[in-house]
Amino acid sequence: MIENKTKIRIRYGETDRMGYAYYGNYATYFEVARVETLRKIGISYRELEDDGIILPVRDYKIRYHKPAYYDDEITVKTRISEIPKIRFHFTFQTFNKNGELLNEAEITLVFVNKKTQKPVLIPTNLKKKMEKFFINA
């Protein structure tokens, strides 16, 4: 299993009239957390794209429990439970500074060949880097 924690500060422009972090911004926070998780694995989105692989979102599901507010520092916990084949599944939990669960989400991406626009298997170099995290699992 791969786990990573990413801290994000809620900016004023990301809040709504109620003072809550606007719900639509969480997709961006999860993208930041995914990018940082891939960096932890040892690969970047840029490398994948340079190799002709894109990762469009297939599914996005979120459940809100509590709001975050302006200037809160939230922690997004990202988890990858298995090495992907064609679909790359991420789960997220977002916590406030007191450790309270704010929301839970699941996002599934698909490995797609940029030229053909067809789904493909996980690139070998990414699979090898991920396997190191699952050896003792």
Task: Give the mean model confidence (pLDDT) for residues 69-91.
Answer: 97
* Residues of the chain above pLDDT 90, percent: 93
Q: List C-alpha distances in Å: 39 to 3, 32, 33.
A: 12, 11, 10
pLDDT digits (tens, 9 = 90+) for 25-74: 999 999 999 999 999 999 999 999 999 999 999 999 999 999 999 999 99
Position 17 pLDDT exceeds 70 = yes
pLDDT at position 137 over 80: no
Residues 107, 87: contact at Cβ < 8 Å? no
Read off the pTM: 0.91
Domains and CATH numbers, the chain: 2-134 (3.10.129.10)
For residues 3-24, average pLDDT: 95
The mean pLDDT value of the chain amounts to 95
Residue 112 confidence class, pLDDT cut points 50, 70, 90:
very high
Mean pLDDT of 81-90: 96
Are 15 and 7 a contacting pair, CB within 8 Å?
A: no
pLDDT of 135 strictly over 90: no
Cα–Cα dist 83/89, whole Å: 9
In the structure, what pLDDT confidence band is assigned to residue 136 with cuts at 50, 70 and 90? low
